[in-house]
Amino acid sequence: MTSPEQRDPRNTGVNCGGLYYQTQNGGRCGVCGDPVGGPFKHEIPGPNVKTYKQSETINVELVITAKHMGWHEFRICKNDDKTRVTHECMDKNLLVIPLKDGTTVTRIFEPDDGRFVSSTMYPFVGSGSTLVVPVKLPPNLTCDHCVFQWKWHCGNNWGPGGKGTGPQEEFFGCADIAIEGTAAPPTTTTLLPPLPTLEQPADQGHQMKMGCWFTSWAQHRPGRGQFLPADIDPALCTHIYYAFAKINYDGTR
């Protein structure tokens, strides 16, 4: 894997210790292609070789030096003090491969049928044939340091069902990358039109009429029951009405 450039790029034989060793150990392999029993020299983190954007579709360039068929997959795992790079972590981020026809897959098979961005693999032209694969990074992952994993499960060995069946040789490549978050789109504030103003009635307070009745005999009541014209509040009563008891000339009421 030349883009992003894998650790120890000159070593094209990072194959889990070989088919026999891997088979004898239950098909297990180190995360970056080392023998499962070690040493794990390809798991030593290095400096980031590239920085990408969150959810970006990147072009992964594979240089294939032998026509071993099979399939390719890509994974990624954050590498920090809290997250250990393991196969379980990698499996959480099996990456999507968008094809030219608009479909997506997570595994590409050889031979290439022209669906990818670029390929000089088929017909095979010898050492250095390349396959460029579009790979979409996760939309929810950012990291200062991530490990990008390429896995190639070959299909060149013969098994009970013919060529490509049974245990197969596997190659791995790991690259150190960073993923930046995408900038949030600017927020747009939509101003709503003002609510219609209800026409308020004019202040009618000065036009209100408050009538206060005053009976003539109220001023003749004894004690607290007495009420005099001076007791009328002019701020409260706009009109004062006086009531007089009718007295007949014969002295009757």
Number of domains in the chain: 2
Distance (Å, rounded) from C-alpha 134 to C-alpha 108? 11
Question: What pLDDT sits at residue 120?
Answer: 45
Helix (H) or strand (E) holding 148: strand 143-153
Clarify whether residues 49 and 136 are in a common domain: yes
Backbone angles phi, psi at 206, to 5 degrees: -75, -10
Contact present, 68 and 156 (Cβ < 8 Å): yes
CA distance 210 to 215: 16
pLDDT for 30 equals 95
Note the pLDDT of residue 161.
86
Distance between first and last Cα of the chain: 124
Answer yes or no: is 252 within a domain.
Answer: no
Q: What range does the domain containing 233 cover?
A: 211-243
Question: What six digits make up the tokens of 66?
Answer: 């032998």
| Mean pLDDT of each 10-residue bin along the chain, 253 residues long | 83 89 95 93 91 94 84 92 84 92 85 52 55 91 95 89 88 95 64 59 55 62 66 68 56 53
Cβ atoms of 33 and 41 closer than 8 Å:
no
DSSP-H helix ranges across 66-164:
87-91
Give me the pLDDT at residue 135, please.
95
The CATH number of residue 176's host domain is 2.70.50
* Same domain as 230, residue 107: no
Collapse the DSSP code of 217 into the 3-class scheme (helix H, G, I; strand E, B; otherwise coil) and give the result. Answer: helix
